[in-house]
Amino acid sequence: MPSDGVPVPGSLFVYEANRGAPVFFTVAFAISAVAHLWQCFKYGTFRLIGLHAFCAFSFTLGFALRVYGANDHYIYDKQDEGHTTNLIVYILMQVFIQICPPLLELSNYHVLGRIFYYVPYFSPLPANRVLATFGGLMMIVEALNSVGVSLVANPTGSAQGLGGNMILAALALQLSVVATFFILSSIFHRRCLRAGIRNRSVITPLWVLYVSMILILVRCIYRLVEHTGATGIHLSDFESLKALTPILRYEWYFYIFEATLMFLNSVLWNVWNPGRYLPAKHNVFLSQDGKTELVSEEIPDRRKFVQKFLYYFTLGILYRRDRGGPGAEPVGQDIPDSRSVLEKFLNLFPLGLLFRRRRTSRAFTELGEYPNGECRNLVGV
């Protein structure tokens, strides 16, 4: 890998790609992916942490394609039809690698919501709205990011500028969502500490979330800086290639701020898998004494197959399951909806954060309010 930043004309990577690094990360992510898959089976956490297994496999595929490209398959000349495969492989490689960070961030929000279910009394946001709120925002991020990456990765296309702007918009929105995460989690963490709750089932996943989000944040900043410089790639114009931002001309930026950070994030969740700390079911939650787990009666899932599909397809925005318990919003007998049309619209537009509908039910706070409830003392508190 050249160290002087001199570009290689015709190279889809801009530089002469390193051959050893993508092999290492292919193997590393493959091992992490298998570990995630095994942990999902062991702890029964496919819904909670399954995205990490998916992303690790996606990284594995992306770096495997990079191995192919780095072995003398990175030169592209549009006049040579034999180079079309090189371009297709390069575009797929970029997509498989760059779609993962927003999904990993979404997985973190899912874990945060699961923590809110476990300690519902101090949650700044109803636990059953965390995935719907952040899921909707991350759907926008992922759509902008995926389309933008595919446009930018094609150096022969005429929409590189549009693709770059879409990626910038996605990164800016992603950064704002990360900031919101830190605000909500810090409020929750502070409330727990004030109440004397220092249970490792709560505190350990929170600290792991902080570290994970910092890794993703640094990666976002790297990508943001990358796309704010000179990014127009013209493979046959050597002078324009030399004028590109250094982040595009030096490969080590990618391997440090993208590959290494995302691999560390994957290993982080391998070591501190939330299934080791959080109960598998939503109806298990922590008492306010911080030492006793309460188990409420689990409400059967009466949703139809289509409703369940739409729930997962929209990342929890539509047809949320009524799980009951103090972590969920009250969903009991309705009272007349007195909201105006404007208030109803404002309730839907920010995914239900404003002007929520009032209902007669209230959140439960004591075990005795649950029929057939149980309780058990935690071990190792």
Domains of the chain are 20-276 (1.20.1070)
Strand order in the sheet with 284-286: 284-286, 292-295, 374-377
CB atoms within 10 A of CB 283: 20
Predicted confidence at residue 31, as pLDDT, reads 97
Predicted confidence at residue 14, as pLDDT, reads 80
Predicted confidence at residue 215, as pLDDT, reads 95
Predicted confidence at residue 333, as pLDDT, reads 41
Predicted confidence at residue 321, as pLDDT, reads 59
Predicted confidence at residue 346, as pLDDT, reads 55
pTM of the model: 0.76
Q: Which helix or strand (DSSP H or E) is residue 286 part of?
A: strand 284-286
CA 145-149-151 angle, to 5 degrees, is 120
- Start-to-end Cα distance in the chain: 51
pLDDT along the chain (381 residues), means of 10: 65 85 96 96 89 96 94 70 79 90 89 90 82 77 77 64 79 85 91 88 94 93 76 60 77 94 96 91 79 73 68 59 52 51 55 46 39 45 43
